[in-house]
Each structure stands twice: as structure tokens, then as C-alpha cells.
Amino acid sequence: MLALEGIRIIDMARLGPGPHCSQILADMGADVIRVEAPEPKEGPRAGRMINLPGDSAIRRNSRSISLNLKTDEGKKVFFALAATSDVITEGFRPGVVKRLGVDYKAVKAVRPEIVYASLSGYGQEGPYSSYVGHDINYQGITGMLDMTGDRDGPPMIPGNTIADNAGGGMNAAISVLGALLARERTGKGQYIDMAMVDGLVTMMFFPIEEHLTTGAVPHRGGTITTGLYPWYSIYETKDGKYVSVGAIEPWFYENLCKLLEREDLIPHQYGDEEQQQAVFGAFREAFLTKTRDEWVELLMPGETCVGPVLGIDEVVNDPHLRHRELIVDVEQGDGSTRTQVGVMAKLSETPGSIRSPGPEAGQDTPDILSELGYDEPAIEALRRSEAIA
């Protein structure tokens, strides 16, 4: 049994947080149906749409129906689907689903128990709600960019789309699960307004609380987790690679100093600026005497909170990540295998799984329509009306 077996999700989101939310829920057993608009044949977006590859890991465990919600016939199919569903997610700009006639109020009329989640950058209301944006903008407005980078340098772009994946996708999945649990208790569905900036602000609670408590303005390079101290930093090694050091607790710092053969540095973990710079220099000098992997072999088992900084090509072959099935080889429909990121949630009794590769857009349209009671002549009529591709 899968944790979300029997839960059907209609996903109208195209990129970023919506598909990530759906992937998390699909991995746990939800029946995810992606409602995807046919490519426009004319207008400014014709031939310029950005689509996720069909075999992308973020599309796995789902099905896809091609549906033109701008047609009456397409909307009729959508509501037939909605009447059989538990959750709807959408990632349009605020107001779009209302103009299309498929907003929460309209869906609730045919499925009162529906959980309907709208994912957007700035939320459904507020001074910025109508503005367009992407991950970098959401990181900027929440202080995350300002806290990222060298102390005396400019803000830097983090190595991943944190707003999309964590601020949006993961938080949306959490919200959906919470709403489903509430429905089990009350019998009522509800609307979820999930903004990526909302998720990021909650992730920035440490520096925000510091400012609200002390009045000080935290700055990159000026806090424990942004490089203020030498025992929470990144160091180059003899072979031009890097190690990460996170020896916050005094006992871990002491272990590190001992294994670096610099026990004289132990009293200076929280020393003054001059002492901190001396420790920085000593650590930089020490780490350049061995290769990354030599240091990892010595320090990682030594209770030091030291680890390697891996390139993506190394991540996919890391033995621990392979053992945890976070990197897995998945059999495709043609018998070949494709390596991809594994299932995030590790549930002991109802573990998630990768059951099918991602579909091409519209791949499952005939099958889904058949499940809704459409016969072949009716499906062909939908094609002629351009309700489906």
C-alpha cells in the first residue's frame, strides 16, 4: 500500500513549484493527472513555450491529458475530472483561473470537498500579487540573496531554485497534506494560497528574528551560517577541490583542531577579530596540505562535522546517496534505464516508489477520457473542436 493511494490530484501548473509538489505526492501514491494546454498555434507564445521534458523525474508517476480550457468542451472535460478528484493545483498568475472559469469557487460547486491549491510568486493578494517574477526575484525580496555571498562582495545566486522547490513545491505539498487531513476530520475541503515568498520568509526566520530581537541588521559574512567564523566555512584542498566545515559545537571544533594538529587554536573558537583571522589563515594553510578525499577520510569519521563539496557528477555516484536510494536507476518503458533522483519521503509502512516514467504532454488523453465515459467518436469530436490536441 502507498500512503496516498486513492487520492487523485489534478495538476494545472506547468513549471517549478507545482510539478515539484505533484511529484512529492505522486511518489507517495497519489494519482496525478497533469492537465496541459495544447501548444498555441498563433500569437506571441506560439513555438516559444517552455516545457519540461517528458522523461523528466519531476513528471514521473503521473499521467497527462491535453486539454484546452479556453473551449467549452475542454472545460466540460475538466469539471468531469474535477468531480472525481481530491486535490487541484494550479500555478497561473492570480486571476487567470477565474477568467478561465476553473477557479476554486467554480470547482467547489461540483466537488465541495475539493482541496484547491494556487501556487504563485507573491500570493493571490497584496501589493505585489499581480507582478511577474522568478526564483531569483523571490530570493531577493525575502533577504535570502542579501545573506548569500562573500562578506565584502555582492549578493550571489545560490546553486538551486530554492523558492520554487522548497519555498513553493515542498510547502505546497505540506499544505495539501494538512488540508487532506483536516478534510478527514471535518469533511470539508478548502483553498490554499501558497506563495513562494511566504515559504522563503518562513525559511529566513533566524536572521529575521535576530533583527527583530536585537535591532541589528544581519549581513552576509556576518553570521555563523554565512562565514563569520572559520569553523563554519569552505576550504580549498591540495587538489583544487573543497571541503565544508561546520564544527559549531565546541567538542567538534576541538576534534577538528586536534586532527589538523593545531591544538593551539582550540581556545580561540570565539576569539576576537584578530584571532578569528589567524584561525582562518591556519585552516586555509592546513587544508592545502592534503587532497579533499584524504581530508574527508581522516576528518569525516572523526566527529568534526567536515564533509566533501561534491560536483554534480560526484553526487550521482556517491555511495551514501546510492545506499539511501536518493539516486536510483529507473527502468523506462522501452526497457532501458535512466538514472534520476529518488523518493524523498522514507516511510516505513507505506514507502513511496517510482512506478512509471514521466509522460509526454497529452500522452494519456484517450485513456483518461475513456475513464470519464467518452467513447472514440466523442473523443474525435473533442479533437475537431480543438478541446484536446
C-alpha 388/C-alpha 366 separation (Å) is 10
Q: Three cell numbers at 82?
A: 474535477
3-state DSSP assignment of residue 76: helix
DSSP string, 129-171: TT----HHHHHHHTTTTTTSS-TTS-----SS-HIIIIIIIIH
219 labelled catalytic: no
First-to-last C-alpha distance (Å) of the chain: 35
C-alpha dihedral (369, 374, 375, 378), degrees to nearest 10: -100
Beta bridge partner(s), residue 339: 329
Per-residue exposure over 86-100, b if at least 16 CB sit within 10 Å of its own CB, e if not: bbbbbbbebebbeeb
Given 3-state DSSP classes, what are the helix, strand and coil percentages for the chain, each rounded to the nearest 5? 40, 15, 45
The catalytic residue among 134, 219, 268, 318 is: 134
The catalytic residue among 11, 103, 146, 164 is: 164
268 labelled catalytic: no
Catalytic site positions: 134, 164
